[in-house]
A and B are shown apart, each in its own frame.
Chain A
Amino acid sequence: MFWQQLVNALWLGSVYALFALGYTLVFGVLDILNLAHGAVFMWGAFFGLLAVTKLNMPIWAALLVAMLGAGILGIVLDRVAFRPLRKRNAPQLAAIISSIGASTILVSLAQGAFGAQVSRFPFDTLPAQVFTAGPVRVTLVQVIVFAVSLVLMAALLLFMRRSRSGKAMRAVAYSGRISSLLGIDVDRIIVTTFFVSSALAGASGVFLGLAFSAISPFMGAPIELKGLAVIILGGLGNVPGAILAGFLLAATEVFGVAYVSSDFRDAIAFTVLILVLLIRPSGILGTAVERRA
Chain B
Amino acid sequence: MLTQFLTDIWLVYRSVFEFALIGSALGLSIYITLRTGLLSLASAGFMSIGAYVGALLTIHLHTPLLVSVLAGALAAGVIGLLLGLPVLRLSGVYLAIATIGFGEVVRVFMLNIDNLAGRTITGGALGLNNIPRKTETWHLVLFVGLLIYLFVRIDRSRTGRAFDAIRQDHHVAASMGINVVQYRNLAFVLSALIAGAAGVFSAHLTYFVSPNEYGFNGAVRILTFAILGGYLIWLGPIVGAFILTFLPELLRFLGPYRPIVNGVVLILAIIYLPRGLVDPTFWRKVWRQRGKPPSPPPLETSSEAAP
Residues of A in contact with B (beta carbons under 8 Å apart): 29-30, 33, 80-81, 84-90, 92-94, 96-98, 100-109, 111-112, 115-116, 172, 176-177, 179-180, 186, 190, 221, 225, 228-229, 232, 236, 263-264, 266-267, 269-271, 273-274, 277-278, 281, 292-293
Interface of B: prevailing SS: helix
Is there contact, CB below 8 Å, between A84 and B100?
no
Q: Mark B130-149, 1 if CB is under 8 A from A, else 0.
A: 00000000000000000000
**Cross-chain contact of A292 among B92, B112, B262, B265 (Cβ < 8 A):** B92
Does B266 sit at the interface, judged by CB under 8 A?
yes
Chain B residues 282 to 307 lying within 8 A of chain A, measured CB to CB, are 302-307
**Cross-chain contact of B263 among A101, A236, A273, A274 (Cβ < 8 A):** A101
B107 to chain A, nearest CB (A): 8
Can you list 8 A-B contacts (CB < 8 A)?
Answer: A88-B274, A90-B271, A98-B267, A104-B220, A112-B260, A176-B307, A266-B104, A281-B94
Is there contact, CB below 8 Å, between A180 and B307?
yes
Does B91 sit at the interface, judged by CB under 8 A?
yes
* B contact residues, range: 35 or more
With contacts A85-B271, A264-B108, A274-B98 taken as known, whether A100 is within 8 angstroms of B220 at the C-beta atoms is yes
With contacts A94-B274, A104-B266, A281-B94 taken as known, whether A225 is within 8 angstroms of B100 at the C-beta atoms is yes
Residues of A within 8 A of B91 (CB): 292-293
Does B109 sit at the interface, judged by CB under 8 A?
yes
Residues of A within 8 A of B82 (CB): none
With contacts A176-B307, A177-B307 taken as known, whether A108 is within 8 angstroms of B259 at the C-beta atoms is yes
Q: How far is the CA of A236 from the CA of B274 in the complex (A)?
A: 26
Residues of B in contact with A (beta carbons under 8 Å apart): 39, 86-87, 89-94, 96-98, 100-102, 104-105, 108-109, 112, 215-217, 220, 223, 227, 255-260, 262-267, 270-271, 274, 302-307
* Nearest neighbor of B302 in chain A, beta-carbon distance: A89
Is there contact, CB below 8 Å, between A105 and B264?
yes
With contacts A89-B306, A107-B259, A266-B108 taken as known, whether A101 is within 8 angstroms of B101 at the C-beta atoms is no
